[in-house]
């Protein structure tokens, strides 16, 4: 069996109002499963990798059904711990026109947030693994989750496994724990080989202020100086005429160069959520398969672009779909 990519983080139930309706405008919710790390796991599986989610879910018909959805999309779920507790959720109101989407988190005291830091036996979980992916949402969820993320990354470091970290700063999630955020995040970044985040993330963690010129490059330089394992910093640039009309570009920094992808116009966006995770999975796929930095950021940007055409949090498309977009031979109907 080939070595797996381990994604550690909370699996969420997303409840969204149908179409472009506001919450409870009509008495129905569409359900999707998501979570930053689960999204990466699903997408990487669709790109041909073995992926496993390490997480905690409630031991209920609901928690089991959420794990089933992950398994449906090819992610290994045997490392999920089921215990008493509630399901982490979020309510989503899709945006439209000039009305932004709205995410209402309801994940406090979830089974994942409440799980003790030593829930996960990392030595065993990281056997036959090739990569660990963690995001900045996990330390935001609870102190024990923050500690668990740290233990995971230390174990991976010890086992010689590559690590990626997606900053994903969400002020509302940190709540009263916000003052600890910069330190906690930057400690996790110390282990990372790949960081997904832009200059605002770096500024937040390291108290950096751009002097002039290219803030992104300056921030990257500081990060490379600060985080000794770091090989790549990766982020997107998003221009916006309205909620439905945007443009997406990928950027990848190594210690020397900046690689910029083709820019994709995004018209009639189907589902914005998970776009960043699809992008991250695309870049990771590039790095895992030995692409050049330029090829990796192109693959990531195309993957992130395509996610906007798929309902739900997951990017369910495969390598062939991304390559079709990269080849610019797509057409409007394949038959």
Subset of residues 214 to 273 that bind a copy of itself, contact rule: CB under 8 A? 238, 240-246, 264-270, 272-273
Q: What's the distance, CA 43 to chain centroid?
A: 10
In this structure, which long-range contacts are made by residues 171-175, counting pairs with CB atoms below 8 Å and at least 24 apart in sequence? Answer: 172/105, 173/105, 173/107, 173/137, 173/140, 173/141, 174/140
Among 59, 60, 147, 200, binds a copy of itself (CB under 8 A): 60
Beta carbons of 159 and 129 less than 8 angstroms apart: yes
* Residue 123 token pair: 């030595």
Interaction between residue 65 and a copy of itself (CB under 8 A): yes
Q: Least distance (Å) from a copy of itself to the CB of residue 115? A: 16
* Residue 15 binding a copy of itself, by CB under 8 A: yes
Smallest gap from residue 180 Cβ to a copy of itself (A): 20
Dihedrals phi, psi of 275, to nearest 5 degrees: -60, -40
127 binds a copy of itself (CB under 8 A): no
145 in contact with a copy of itself (CB under 8 A):
no
Question: Which residue carries 């997408």 as its tokens?
Answer: 43
Token pair listed for 148: 């668990």
Among 5, 24, 80, 125, binds a copy of itself (CB under 8 A): 24
| Residue with the two structure tokens 């921030």 | 219
Name which of 219 and 248 has its Cβ closer to a copy of itself.
Answer: 248
DSSP 330: -
Q: Which residues inside 183-212 make contact with a copy of itself, applying CB under 8 A?
A: none
CB of 225 to a copy of itself, least distance (A): 31
CB atoms within 10 A of CB 326: 17
Determine, following the binding rule CB under 8 A, whether residue 97 of this chain makes contact with a copy of itself.
Answer: yes
The interface with a copy of itself within residues 146-165 (CB under 8 A) comprises none
Phi then psi for residue 328, to 5 deg, are: 60, 25
Q: Which of residues 104-123 bind a copy of itself (CB under 8 A)?
A: 104-106, 108-109
Structure-token match 């969820």, residue found: 141
Select 260 or 263, whichever has its Cβ closest to a copy of itself: 263
Footprint (CB under 8 A) of a copy of itself, residues 303-322: 305-306, 308-312, 316-317, 321
* Binds a copy of itself by CB under 8 A, chosen from 3, 74, 254, 258: 74
Q: How far apart are CA 22 and CA 39, in angstroms?
A: 25
Beta partners for residue 267, in sequence order: 245
In this chain, which stretch among 95-103, 140-148, 186-194, 281-289 interacts with a copy of itself, using CB under 8 A?
95-103
137: its two tokens: 């949402």
CB of 208 to a copy of itself, least distance (A): 23
Q: In this chain, which stretch among 56-64, 125-133, 145-153, 184-192 interacts with a copy of itself, using CB under 8 A?
A: 56-64
What would the two tokens of residue 318 be?
């495969």
With CB under 8 A as the contact rule, which of the stretches 66-74, 139-147, 213-221, 252-260 interacts with a copy of itself? Answer: 66-74
- Sign of the alpha-carbon torsion through 139, 73, 163, 79: positive
Q: Is 91 in the site for a copy of itself (CB under 8 A)?
A: yes
């Amino acid at each position: 069996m080939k070595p797996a990519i381990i994604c550690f983080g909370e699996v969420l139930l997303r409840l969204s109002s149908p179409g472009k309706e506001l919450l409870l405008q009509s008495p129905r919710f569409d359900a999707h499963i998501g979570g930053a790390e689960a999204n990466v796991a699903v997408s990487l599986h669709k790109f041909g990798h073995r992926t496993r989610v390490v997480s905690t879910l409630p031991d209920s018909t609901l928690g089991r059904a959420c794990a089933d959805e992950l398994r449906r999309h090819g992610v290994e779920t045997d490392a999920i711990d089921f215990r008493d507790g509630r399901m982490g959720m979020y309510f989503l109101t899709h945006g439209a026109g000039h009305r932004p989407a709205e995410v209402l988190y309801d994940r406090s005291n979830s089974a994942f947030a409440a799980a003790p830091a030593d829930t996960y036996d990392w030595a065993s979980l990281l056997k036959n693994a090739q990569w660990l992916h963690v995001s900045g949402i996990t330390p935001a969820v609870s102190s024990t989750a923050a500690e668990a993320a740290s233990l995971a990354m230390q174990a991976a470091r010890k086992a010689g496994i590559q690590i990626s970290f997606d900053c994903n700063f969400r002020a509302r999630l940190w709540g009263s724990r916000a003052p600890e955020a910069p330190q906690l995040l930057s400690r996790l970044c110390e282990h990372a080989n790949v960081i997904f985040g832009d200059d605002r993330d770096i500024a937040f963690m390291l108290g950096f202020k751009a002097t002039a010129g290219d803030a992104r490059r300056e921030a990257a330089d500081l990060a490379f100086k600060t985080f000794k394992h770091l090989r790549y910093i990766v982020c997107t640039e998003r221009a916006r005429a309205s909620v439905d009309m945007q443009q997406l570009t990928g950027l990848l920094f190594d210690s020397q160069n900046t690689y910029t992808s083709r820019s994709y116009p995004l018209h009639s966006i189907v589902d914005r959520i998970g776009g960043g995770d699809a992008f991250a999975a695309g870049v990771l796929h590039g790095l895992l398969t030995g692409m050049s930095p330029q090829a990796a950021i192109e693959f990531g940007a195309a993957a992130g672009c395509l996610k906007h055409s798929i309902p739900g949090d997951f990017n369910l498309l495969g390598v062939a779909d991304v390559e079709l977009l990269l080849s610019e031979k797509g057409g409007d109907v394949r038959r």
